[in-house]
Amino acid sequence: MPYTDRVDYVAAMNCNVGYAMTVEKLLGLEVPERAEFLRVVVGELNRISSHLVAVGAMPMDLGAATPFMHALRERETINDLFEMLCGARLTYNYVRIGGVSFDLPPGFTEKTAAFLDHFESMMRSEFDPLISQNLIYRRRLAGVAPISAATAIAYGLSGPNLRASGLDWDLRQDEPYSIYPKLEFDVVVGTGEVGVLGDCFDRYAVRVGEMLQSVRIVRQCLERMPDGPVMAKVPRTIKPPTGEAFVRTEAPRGELGYFLVADGSDRAYRCKIRTGSFASMSILEALSPGWMIADLVAIIAAFDVVAPEIDR
């Protein structure tokens, strides 16, 4: 499990969950409901912290340093919550095959609820006026490198980079897993509000909207959290029967897929990981010609790629 933290170190919780689900599929293992709720809580909090890096770094790449400090301030609060939960702030190793490693510590629910209230208010009253409504920022992104829905599909884009092109596709709703079918949230898609549908601003705006939807999801999980165990009964040495399994989940950078082949031993015969960043990089060569170098900075930043997802 610690290896999966490194697939995307900005969203390690989501990487943990995908791998655990794949092994559980091979084992035919049922995860306790409370553990499923906890997985969604940490996954959506990690989605917020991941998108904060994206929407903070993007204006900094274009010359505005202040928004990044605001984004990191909020992200540090989420790091504090994760440290309270599992003792780590970046590579968490929190999820386990069969559940999660720790139940909620005293005060976690109250602190998380307080953060969600603060964060939602901060985004609307502070971050959006500072950068989302900034005229210079909007002009730098509006109409730059638009991608149609058909082109996005052809290049295998997923996650926010796909939805920015106007396509309503989110695995949490379209191929629901875990407890997502029990939760209410909207899929945020691009609208071309300041430029052209599927441009760099839409890729930014989708991530801003997704953070607010994650707030909704975490609130519902905290309100409906059931009692019960957080781990299924799993043998100390895990040896799935010979076979193969593929599971894909909606990670912050797109569809994160694990393909596992088991040969009856305690080690996977084959493990292939499909990441959102790798697919996103494939379109850059076709998308870049004709734009200024300054635009290329915006184009790359808008895809929110992370290095280990590209070179594994």
Q: What is the residue-averaged pLDDT of the chain?
A: 97
Q: How would residue 312 be classed by pLDDT, with cut points 50, 70 and 90? A: low
Percent of the chain scored above 70 by pLDDT? Answer: 100
Instruction: Enter the pTM of the model.
Output: 0.97
- 248-284 residue pLDDT tens: 999 999 999 999 999 999 999 999 999 999 999 999 9
The DSSP-derived string for 24-80 is HHHHTPPPPHHHHHHHHHHHHHHHHHHHHHHHHHHHHHTT--HHHHHHHHHHHHHHH
Q: Which residue in 189, 183, 166, 204 sits closest to 43, CA to CA?
A: 183
Q: Look at residue 220 in the predicted model and tell me its pLDDT.
A: 98
Domains (ranges, CATH) in the chain?
2-310 (1.10.645.10)
Q: Look at residue 105 in the predicted model and tell me its pLDDT.
A: 98
CA dihedral 155, 158, 161, 167 (to 10 degrees): 90
Q: Flag the least confident range among 17-26, 30-39, 217-226, 302-311.
A: 302-311
Residue that the structure tokens 């596992």 belong to: 260
Q: How far apart are CA 37 and CA 11, in angstroms?
A: 18
- 31-61 residue pLDDT tens: 999 999 999 999 999 999 999 999 999 999 9
Q: How would residue 246 be classed by pLDDT, with cut points 50, 70 and 90? A: very high
How many angstroms separate the most distant Cα atoms in the chain?
A: 59
Q: How far apart are CA 130 and CA 125, in angstroms?
A: 9
- 176-205 residue pLDDT tens: 999 999 999 999 999 999 999 999 999 999
Q: Which conformational region is residue 140 in: left (phi greater than 0), alpha (psi within -120 to 50 degrees), or beta? A: alpha
Taking CA 68 as the corner, what is the angle to CA 63 and CA 73, rounded to the nearest 5 degrees? Answer: 165
Token output for 281: 């990089």
- 125-171 residue pLDDT tens: 999 999 999 999 999 999 999 999 999 999 999 999 999 999 999 99
Continuous segment of H or E residues that includes residue 308: helix 307-310
Distances (CA, A) of 114 to 25, 102, 218, 246: 36, 21, 12, 37
Token output for 55: 């929407």
Q: How far apart are CA 127 and CA 147, in angstroms?
A: 26
Q: How far apart are CA 197 and CA 143, in angstroms?
A: 8
Stretch 111-121: mean pLDDT, rounded? Answer: 98
